[in-house]
Structure 1
Amino acid sequence: MKARRGIYAAAVSPFEANGRLNSGKLVAYCQHLLSDGGCDGVAPTGTTGEGTSIAMADRLALPGAFADAGISPDRVIFGTGAPASGDCLALTAAACDAGFTNALVLPPYYYKAPSDDGLFAYYANLVNGLGRDDLRIYLYHFPQMSAVPLSVELVTRLKAEFGSVIAGLKDSSGDFAQSAAFITATGGVDADFDVFPSSEAMLWDGLALGSAGIISGSTNAFGAKAQAALQAPQGGARDVAMEAVKAARTMAGKYPMMAAMKQVEAWRSGDDSWTRMAPPLVPLSDAQRASLRADLDALNG
């Protein structure tokens, strides 16, 4: 079941005091995002979810917890990327076996400047190793973090080779021209290739070109604002809604995104354990926390 289009939150992850993932709390949080949080879907264990810092055992068990909670598979895109091809295959298989066949897959990010042939081989190993026609891979372009960009040529080559299995792409470059290039080269939603820019500030500009929506870290806190902008009729109402979206995104961008979104959730839930980060990341400083509180209060009037 291919992931639905619309507003996604790259969900933050709650940790226990010993550093292990609290799967039950993450499931409940994603249920909040999918209801009152205003999101059409969630993308757990991605960058904002500190996915590469979560223990392998916890990542492998998480899809089963989502299945047990009855969360619809078309509303979840699990992050399954890993430097080791076999780990990526195991994580993606665990998601698929639990019924979640949509996977957000980083390129192998340890070795720098790999060739397109090498990156093609990595994704081909995943597709051929699983051998599932229902698998839907969303390529993950985030050169600032992975230091391994995905070229337009590689993306179109993978799509040509594997068809509907290569279902889309998350572009976290922050460069709208890059998102537009991926959409133009693949045909975007008109060709059933779903490009998701990473900022809700790009929402309607992207949709006008053929994007599928957005997958954003700041929609952990502001998904309802993005959903309001998505549903607003063209004209003044949409313009006003998008101004609110852009103001919230700009404010969020002043802070370390993951720590800020966890702090917002700690305030919303009254649970300070949400501020725990997986090393080497750290929570907001006292000064950052006070500034964020003031900015939120000003944003919400």
Structure 2
Amino acid sequence: MSNPGTLDGVLAPVLTPFTNTLMPHLPLFVGLARHLMGQGLGLAPFGTTSEGNSLGVAEKVELLDALVGAGLDMGRVMPGTGCCALSDSVALTSHAVKRGCGGVLMLPPFYYKNPSEDGLFAAFAEVIERVGDDRLRLYLYHFPQQSQIPITHGLIERLLAAYPATVVGIKDSSGDLANMETMCRAYPGFKVFSGTERFILPVMRAGGAGCISANANIHGPAMLDLWRRWQEPEAERLQADLGVFRAIMEGMPLIAALKALTARRTGEYGWRRVRPPLVALAPEAEIQLVERLGQAGIVL
């Protein structure tokens, strides 16, 4: 198991279930969170996989409070709190800190394109200053394909210089392994998480902290096994095995596919629901996905 109360290892970006009126389904959410944490995984709710930008601030607060009420180890939770509105980012981040979360994962404000480095620094600095809590541990979220706003090395260096005890790491979902390796080596003590299980082994070899991958909702134990054993002779084979699952899932609309697999695993049909503009996985596509996983020897 990853260390209790810490945010190293493998974190699952927890899927968000919805009722038939498309409101967050708290019992299913808590059930999945407990299942994932019971496997030794940390939790990273309200990011891309969680449909986080389709959820309002009040909904995220309610979901976070449900985890607290369930008695889960909040030191192993890294909720996404980066919003376009400064006040929303501050409110969510403050609530996460007060609820004992081990850290927060923060997108840059992503609506206005081509912002200056000065502007992005100010955006993160304003959140940190307004939260004003020494317990805050902020992880940057670098996902330029989705946000269109990259987290540059220059920005990281400025934030580390200004807030060395607060800005402590990054999730890199760019798919750029060289960027991850460079950050691991350039910023000692800065926790670098790969956004794909394809790179767990090379990132750990470069000095990284672990992985935060959508597929951990289904395939997390295999990722955690590699993270634990990355220095063993079997590591290359374990990494290759993870690539098989990843390749199958990359041929599908990822969130809808993960929800369909979760519905099959749990027997709860409601897991198939997504919020518009996403659409649920078509039944024929779900059957094909399960068949491909079975052919690869992967059992849910």
- TM-score relative to the length of structure 2: 0.94
| TM superposition shift of 1:135 | 0.2
Q: Which amino acid aligns with 1:300?
A: G
Q: Which amino acid aligns with 1:113?
A: N
| TM superposition shift of 1:235 | 4.6
Aligned: 1:16 with 2:13 = no
Q: Is the 8 A contact 1:20 1:54 kept in 2?
A: no
Q: For 1:236 and 1:139, how far apart are their aligned partners in 2?
A: 32
Match of 2:117 in 1: 116
Q: Which amino acid aligns with 1:228?
A: D
Dislocated runs of 4+, deviation >6 Å: none
Match of 2:44 in 1: 43
Q: Is the 8 A contact 2:201 2:235 kept in 1?
A: no
Q: Is the 8 A contact 1:76 1:102 kept in 2?
A: yes
The alignment's C-alpha RMSD in Å is 1.6
Q: For 2:63 and 2:235, how far apart are their aligned partners in 1?
A: 37
SS in 1 for 2:165: helix
Q: For 1:214 and 1:273, how far apart are their aligned partners in 2?
A: 28
Aligned: 1:58 with 2:59 = yes
Aligned: 1:259 with 2:256 = yes
Q: Which amino acid aligns with 1:203?
A: I
Match of 1:247 in 2: 244
> Which runs of structure 2 are paired with 1:53-202 in the superposition (5 Å)?
53-187=54-188, 191=189, 193-202=190-199
| TM superposition shift of 1:63 | 2.0
Superposed CA deviations along residues 193-237 of structure 1, whole A, max 9, x for unmatched, are 111011111111000101100000011111111122223374542
Q: For 2:230 and 2:279, how far apart are their aligned partners in 1?
A: 41
Q: For 2:141 and 2:134, how far apart are their aligned partners in 1?
A: 20
Q: For 1:126 and 1:218, how far apart are their aligned partners in 2?
A: 30
Q: Is the 8 A contact 1:196 1:215 kept in 2?
A: yes
Q: For 1:156 and 1:238, how far apart are their aligned partners in 2?
A: 32
Gaps of 5+ in 1: none
| TM superposition shift of 1:184 | 2.6
Q: For 2:126 and 2:26, how far apart are their aligned partners in 1?
A: 29
Q: Which amino acid aligns with 1:247?
A: V
* Equivalent of 1:29 in 27, 32, 53: 32
Q: For 2:160 and 2:230, how far apart are their aligned partners in 1?
A: 34
| TM superposition shift of 1:83 | 0.2
Query: Are the structure 2 counterparts of residues 101 and 128 from structure 1 closer, same or farther at C-alpha, using a change threshold of 3 Å?
Result: farther
Q: For 2:273 and 2:109, how far apart are their aligned partners in 1?
A: 27
Q: Which amino acid aligns with 1:11?
A: V
Q: Which amino acid aligns with 1:159?
A: L
Q: For 1:23 and 1:120, how far apart are their aligned partners in 2?
A: 35
* Equivalent of 1:293 in 263, 268, 290: 290
| TM superposition shift of 1:100 | 1.6
| TM superposition shift of 1:2 | 7.1
Q: For 2:21 and 2:57, how far apart are their aligned partners in 1?
A: 15
Query: Are the structure 2 counterparts of residues 15 and 145 from structure 1 closer, same or farther at C-alpha, using a change threshold of 3 Å?
Result: same
Q: Which amino acid aligns with 2:22?
A: G
Q: Which amino acid aligns with 1:157?
A: R
Gaps of 5+ in 2: none
Q: Is the 8 A contact 2:76 2:102 kept in 1?
A: no
Q: Is the 8 A contact 2:197 2:211 kept in 1?
A: yes
SS in 1 for 2:23: coil
Q: For 1:29 and 1:17, how far apart are their aligned partners in 2?
A: 18
Q: Is the 8 A contact 1:20 1:55 kept in 2?
A: no
SS in 1 for 2:192: strand
Superposed CA deviations along residues 96-132 of structure 1, whole A, max 9, x for unmatched, are 2222251101000110010010011110011100111
Match of 2:216 in 1: 219
Q: Is the 8 A contact 1:10 1:42 kept in 2?
A: yes
Match of 1:276 in 2: 273
SS in 2 for 1:94: helix
Query: Are the structure 2 counterparts of residues 232 and 184 from structure 1 closer, same or farther at C-alpha, using a change threshold of 3 Å?
Result: closer
| TM superposition shift of 1:238 | 2.2
Q: For 1:230 and 1:42, how far apart are their aligned partners in 2?
A: 16
Identity of aligned residues (%): 35
Q: For 2:230 and 2:101, how far apart are their aligned partners in 1?
A: 33
